Chain A
């Protein structure tokens, strides 16, 4: 009887019942019909217990950090920096759009935030340069899916929680696939630039920009500390000096101080070779780009859990917006907090319902029955992974990544883990595939946002996005069949055995 919960749920979903209610109504009705009222109580209890979680708290925090950064005017700085790096290429602004998405992905875990923040700035700019509006919107939408692939990522936090994986391992596994998607999109732009003679752009738009003294000094110090840290790590790693338990604090700090000094000397010597405007633009990007360093660095060094890293990111964003860049006032704060709270409330409730749903999934033997069916199709994991990618892609066309992961993770995850696919590898396949689904018609959330930002019809953007989607599908298959792409970084850092 209980096995019917899946078809019932799918019918509810297709006719438009909110996912939250569907996740509870389908198993609830069947349990009620089967006279298992006690288990309905279990359903309610699991919603509550599912939400009562410390790791999940990273979701509201990362959303808040993203909102603060966005409101705090960092988007403009990232775009300027990307343009200074890639604007001079043919199809310059399209490249800038993609690079900005990659940088923005390190600050936010949301594709929608990426599309609306970058789209409202870059789509009009691209149009002024002679790109068609649909092309500009398509590049924006296609590149914004990098947001939840490069850490931090809301989707991966949800996956890790629902499936009991390590958030840090998933975050680290997402870095290379995210960069790969970005490079793939740039390749498409490069090919199109030759064919359609796409224009180059100025590397520096605002010449002679001044930096406030505060921002100058903050970026001055941060740049030296970061570069110094890199020197310090390389020095310790290669010579073994000032590393290990026996090294005294004075030795460690002394070595670090010398490394920072070396970084300072290097930067000063490079100063004359770099154009002043380029230097200013780079300095303006230092403060925002410190966020991913803080988050990933903190997690990698074992200083913070992902939730703590997210709270620290919020703190950093507040300091930056209120005291360094002075782009926000106290008046703006309630609105930002409210938006982060509302978005996370919906997601948290959904995760709670998913945990309840998961209980029914395991009670119903659905995974075993499905596993038998899937294994009946083929016993070759490569063939099955191919088929599952197609299934996920189709699901992604209709459902947002978060809910899709919540529903399918508990059903598909165990099957593939039993087949010998590493859980983290499968998590990445699933996350990347469903994230790309955010930009596919007919129900791509990112397409809708791009359409409203660009004031262009969804259908038109959907056509223009096809070459970019083709590359993204290619990347999905690359990460499926070459596990090393996603697994190397978590393995090297010891987050995966």
Chain B
């Protein structure tokens, strides 16, 4: 048990510390998405000038919001599932089934990592985004066209974070199966995924 707890500690600490940072970035991202689209609407209808970048910038932000927020949702049990069977089974059997499901999920994520890496270093990642530029000099004299892989990193990072959460959940379930207690992770009720 001590070994398991020792194993759990780095994952739990990582998730406790890093996921809230992801949450704050996501908060900023969703806010900026709204701003970008409002700028688009304002320029198109009021100034009669269709800007090229807000659409792409907002999608960029949305992808990162998803990649950084989904692991937190997963950790809090916010992924939609039919958990009727797990609830109906005796506690021990239910925990074994949960463990089995976590292992399958873990495989999906582990499989996705090399593919994701291939994608962000692959052919389509070599292109640049259509309209996103960032300044590379303080006086805004030089601009860098944002490469596509910056955008594609969102899902890759999301998958890595999800896998770390998944490993934490596996260890937690094993500890619970062996009769140990673990820290509560469930969200406040009003934070459960809304349909």
Chain A residues close to B by CB (< 8 Å): 12-21, 24-25, 28, 40-41, 44-45, 47-48, 51-54, 56-57, 60-61, 63-64, 110-113, 116, 148, 154-155, 303-304, 307-308, 311-312, 314-315, 334, 337-350, 352, 398-403, 438, 442-443, 445-446, 452
Shortest Cβ distance from B31 into A: residue: A337
State how many angstroms separate the Cβ of A339 from the closest Cβ of chain B. Answer: 6
State how many angstroms separate the Cβ of B187 from the closest Cβ of chain A. Answer: 9
Q: Which residues of A contact B111 (CB under 8 A)?
A: 28, 40
Q: Which residues of A contact B81 (CB under 8 A)?
A: 16-19
Q: Beyond A337-B27, A338-B23, A400-B195: 13 further Cβ-contacts under 8 Å?
A: A13-B82, A15-B85, A16-B83, A16-B84, A19-B81, A25-B105, A40-B111, A57-B59, A60-B65, A61-B37, A312-B41, A341-B65, A399-B82
* A308 close to B97 (CB less than 8 A): no
How far, in angstroms, from A234 to B175 measured CA to CA in the complex?
70
With beta carbons under 8 angstroms apart, the residue of A148, A304, A311, A346 that contacts B73 is A346
How far, in angstroms, from A414 to B78 measured CA to CA in the complex?
31
B147 contacts partner chain A, Cβ-Cβ < 8 Å = no
Q: Which residues of A contact B86 (CB under 8 A)?
A: 16
* A334 close to B80 (CB less than 8 A): no
Please list the 8 inter-chain residue pairs (A to B) with the smallest Cβ-Cβ separation, ordered nearest first.
Answer: A345-B69, A311-B37, A18-B79, A112-B194, A18-B81, A21-B105, A44-B115, A341-B26
* A110 close to B38 (CB less than 8 A): no
With beta carbons under 8 angstroms apart, the residue of B29, B55, B104, B155 that contacts A21 is B104
Can you name 21 A-B residue pairings with CB atoms under 8 Å?
A: A14-B82, A16-B84, A17-B81, A25-B107, A40-B111, A44-B119, A60-B62, A61-B34, A307-B37, A311-B38, A311-B41, A341-B69, A342-B23, A342-B72, A342-B191, A346-B78, A346-B193, A349-B70, A400-B195, A402-B195, A438-B195
Q: Which residues of A contact B69 (CB under 8 A)?
A: 341-342, 345
Q: Which residues of B contact A116 (CB under 8 A)?
A: 190
* B34 close to A64 (CB less than 8 A): yes
Q: Which residues of B contact A61 (CB under 8 A)?
A: 33-34, 37
Q: Which residues of A contact B66 (CB under 8 A)?
A: 51, 344-345, 348-349
Which chain B residues numbered 49 to 88 have a C-beta less than 8 Å away from chain A?
Answer: 55, 58-59, 62-63, 65-66, 68-70, 72-74, 78-86
How far, in angstroms, from A111 to B23 measured CA to CA in the complex?
25
Shortest Cβ distance from B113 into A: residue: A44
* B101 close to A345 (CB less than 8 A): no
B164 contacts partner chain A, Cβ-Cβ < 8 Å = no
How far, in angstroms, from A434 to B118 measured CA to CA in the complex?
38
State the main secondary structure of chain B at its contact with A: helix
* A311 close to B195 (CB less than 8 A): no
Q: Which residues of A contact B37 (CB under 8 A)?
A: 57, 61, 307-308, 311
How far, in angstroms, from A350 to B82 measured CA to CA in the complex?
15
State how many angstroms separate the Cβ of B152 from the closest Cβ of chain A. Answer: 6
Shortest Cβ distance from B37 into A: residue: A311
Shortest Cβ distance from A402 into B: residue: B195
* A17 close to B80 (CB less than 8 A): no
* A346 close to B80 (CB less than 8 A): yes
Q: Which residues of B contact A344 (CB under 8 A)?
A: 30, 65-66
Q: Which residues of A contact B85 (CB under 8 A)?
A: 14-16
* A52 close to B59 (CB less than 8 A): yes
State how many angstroms separate the Cβ of A21 from the closest Cβ of chain B. Answer: 4
Chain B residues close to A by CB (< 8 Å): 23-24, 26-27, 29-31, 33-34, 37-38, 40-41, 45, 55, 58-59, 62-63, 65-66, 68-70, 72-74, 78-86, 97-98, 100-101, 104-105, 107-108, 111-112, 115-116, 118-119, 151-152, 155, 158, 189-191, 193-195
* B80 close to A16 (CB less than 8 A): no
How far, in angstroms, from A340 to B30 measured CA to CA in the complex?
8
How far, in angstroms, from A19 to B78 measured CA to CA in the complex?
11
With beta carbons under 8 angstroms apart, the residue of B31, B97, B158, B190 that contacts A15 is B97
How far, in angstroms, from A319 to B24 measured CA to CA in the complex?
23
* B29 close to A57 (CB less than 8 A): no
Shortest Cβ distance from A398 into B: residue: B82
Interface hub of B31, B62, B98 (most chain A Cβ within 10 A): B62
State how many angstroms separate the Cβ of B127 from the closest Cβ of chain A. Answer: 14
How far, in angstroms, from A403 to B79 measured CA to CA in the complex?
11
With beta carbons under 8 angstroms apart, the residue of A52, A343, A403 that contacts B63 is A52
Interface hub of A17, A40, A116, A308 (most chain B Cβ within 10 A): A17
Q: Which residues of B contact A21 (CB under 8 A)?
A: 79, 101, 104-105, 108
* B104 close to A17 (CB less than 8 A): yes
Knowing A110-B195, A311-B41, A344-B65, the reply to whether A20 touches B80 (Cβ < 8 A) is: yes
State how many angstroms separate the Cβ of A109 from the closest Cβ of chain B. Answer: 9
* B155 close to A47 (CB less than 8 A): yes
Interface hub of B45, B80, B104 (most chain A Cβ within 10 A): B80
How far, in angstroms, from A47 to B159 measured CA to CA in the complex?
11
* B195 close to A445 (CB less than 8 A): yes
State how many angstroms separate the Cβ of B15 from the closest Cβ of chain A. Answer: 15
Shortest Cβ distance from A310 into B: residue: B37
State how many angstroms separate the Cβ of B91 from the closest Cβ of chain A. Answer: 15
Q: Which residues of B contact A112 (CB under 8 A)?
A: 194-195
* B101 close to A15 (CB less than 8 A): yes
How far, in angstroms, from A262 to B38 measured CA to CA in the complex?
33
